[in-house]
Every structure is written in C-alpha cells, then in structure tokens.
Amino acid sequence: MKDYSTLQAVWFVLISVLWLGYFVLEGFDFGVGMLMRAVGRSQAERRAVLHSIGPIWDGNEVWLIVAGGATFAAFPQWYATLFSGFYLALFLILVALIVRNVGFEFWGKQTSEAWRTGWEWAIMAGSFLPALLWGVGWANIVHGVPIDAHGEYTGTLFTLLNPYALLGGAATATLFLAHGAIFLSLKTAGAVEERARAIAARATPIAAVVVIAFLAWTLADQDGVEAASALCAAGAAVALVAAAWLAARQPPRAFGTTCVAIALLFCTLLTDLFPHAMISSTNDAFSLTLNEASSSRYTLSVMTVVAVLLLPFVLLYQGWTYWVFRRRVSAEDFGAVRSPVDLLSPREHGGGGTAGA
C-alpha cells in the first residue's frame, strides 16, 4: 500500500519547487553577501555590490516564507517534528537572516568607516551561516535523525553536526558563494566585475569538487541506489563541471548551469526523501511518511485551488522586478544615488541617469 495519496504527492512536489526556487534565488544573495568585502574595495564599490541585489533580495526570501507556510498547512506533523527538532539550528538561521537584512538597510545610514565596516561583517556572517546551515539541515533530513515513536526528536544540536551533514553544509556554502560570484560578474561593471569573475573562476571548481563528493556520499548511503536521485545527482555533477569551465569564459551560461546545479542538488535529496517527510535513525518504523504527516484531503484540495489561482501572479510580479532592475551597476553610478530606483534607466525612471553623478 502506498504511503501517500496523489494530493499528498502533489504538495510534496509543490513544496519542493518552493525550496528549489528559494535556494536558486537566495543562493546568489548569500554569495553576494559573503563576497561583499572581497569584491568591493571602496565605499562606492560596496554600495554597488549592495545595489546589485537591493531590489530583489526580499522578494527572494518570500519563497522561504511560502515554503514554510505550505509545509505547515499541508503537512503539519512534518512541520512540528522538523521545527521542534531543529529549532536551535533554525533559530540561528533566523537570527543570521535578520542581522544580514538589517545590515542591508543600516549600512548606508552613516558614513563613518567603523559603522559601515561593522555592518559589512554582519552581512558577510549573516550570509555565510544560513548558506552553511541549510545544507547541514537538509543533509540531516535525508540522512536521518533520532526520532522516537511519538515523532519527537531526541538528539541535540551537536547530533546534527555529523560528518555527512557538515559536508552537506560545505557543499551549499561553496556552491552559493560561486553562484553569487557569477551573479556579480553579470550584474556589475568595472573593477567589481573583474574581481567577481576572478573569484568565480577559482571558487566554482572548488564548489564542484565538494558538491560532487557530497552527492557521491548521498548515493552511497542509500540502501539501493534510486534511479531518480542518481539521475539528478549525475545531472548536477555535469552542470557543475560545465559551470567550472564556463565561469571565467561565459558568465551568463555559467550562471545558468549553477542554477541547474543547485536545483538538481536539492532534487537529489528530495527524491531520496520521498515518500517520507522525516527519516528516523532510531528505528525505520518511526520514520514519518507523507500520509502520516498530512492534513486532510479537503485542506489539500482547497490549497491546490488557491495555489493554481495565485502562483502565476506571484511569478509574473517577481519576473517583472528582475526585468525592471536588470541593468549592471558600478562604482561610477553612485553619487546622488539613494535607493535602487535611482538606478533605473533614463527611459524607465523618467529622467537623466546617475552615472557619473
């Protein structure tokens, strides 16, 4: 007998898509944040780095909020077990995101060197910690954590810091850093672009090695290699090798391949997890299936209708945002600039440009 219904499988896929969207989009935000001081040597260059993601980072985080909300509504038992067991790790992620986001807003409020340097380090730390811990968390979800017969997590924070999970964290952190470097090489101009491209050329091969090692361990850890996860892992490996080759040569294609690599990395984990929501390392009988974690059929049916009606508008709005703020930024753009709106092209902004202001 199946451990899931069609609607439960549909919502597992939809929630997976939300996580994939979050990691692909927020992944380069994390990378940009980690590289802020590495690619920006002057205040104007660091302002250009911030403005490269300024109009879009908060929209990218919406994917995380919706993924969490959808999990709570569609699979409340999954949400309860996950958030009660991983609460300290998730709390650290939340604090890091808050600090990073406050840093985005407060960096330009004063012009003193100490003020801005402090917020730059806060942004870097607030970008690195989630990039690391998301990999640690998802590796543990797939690998299995101690869960008892009542669905309660019985481990500690240090239980989550096992070698496999730490390798997963290193995989996401290095991959997001490379993803962000390639994004900066596409979104900036001048010296910032040159430094970002040089970092991308060095970071992407390292990310490829770490991620491929993690994927190999993931497949080796399976009782029997599952065709779907093996296919996703192979696709991610190919995309990473291609990204490493293209990073310094063709950044647009390299960025596309890192997007594919991130999506396929998490597809590997999610297909390995299905049809479970949580894996128990204590006893296989204590693992939580989608059927056990699910809301009622009526709830899932109503959620499906709402998602079909609203999701296209959300995607159109976010696509429009990326289109409006599509042009490159450079240190030379920042004189009278006070907000991302000042960086719109003359035709879109209704006035003269800011370059050289």
Which pLDDT score is estimated for 215? 96
Can you give the pLDDT at residue 152? 86
Q: What is the pLDDT of residues 117-157, one digit of tens each?
A: 999 999 999 999 999 999 999 999 999 999 988 888 888 88
Nearest-angstrom CA–CA distance, 307 and 318: 16
Write the pLDDT tens digit of every residue in 150-193.
888 888 888 999 999 999 999 999 999 999 999 999 999 999 99
pLDDT digits (tens, 9 = 90+) for 308-339: 998 899 899 889 999 998 888 887 777 555 55
Q: What pTM did the predictor assign?
A: 0.90
Q: What is the pLDDT of residues 224-276, one digit of tens each?
A: 768 899 999 999 999 999 999 999 889 999 999 999 999 999 999 999 999 99
Residues with Cβ within 8 Å of 241's Cβ and at least 6 positions away in sequence, in order, are: 208
Question: What average pLDDT does the structure give for the chain?
Answer: 90
**Contact 200/178 with Cβ under 8 angstroms?**
yes
Dihedral class, residue 20 (left if φ above 0, else alpha if ψ from -120 to 50, else beta)? alpha
Other Cβ atoms within 10 Å of 116 Cβ, number: 19
Domain regions of the chain by residue span: 6-300
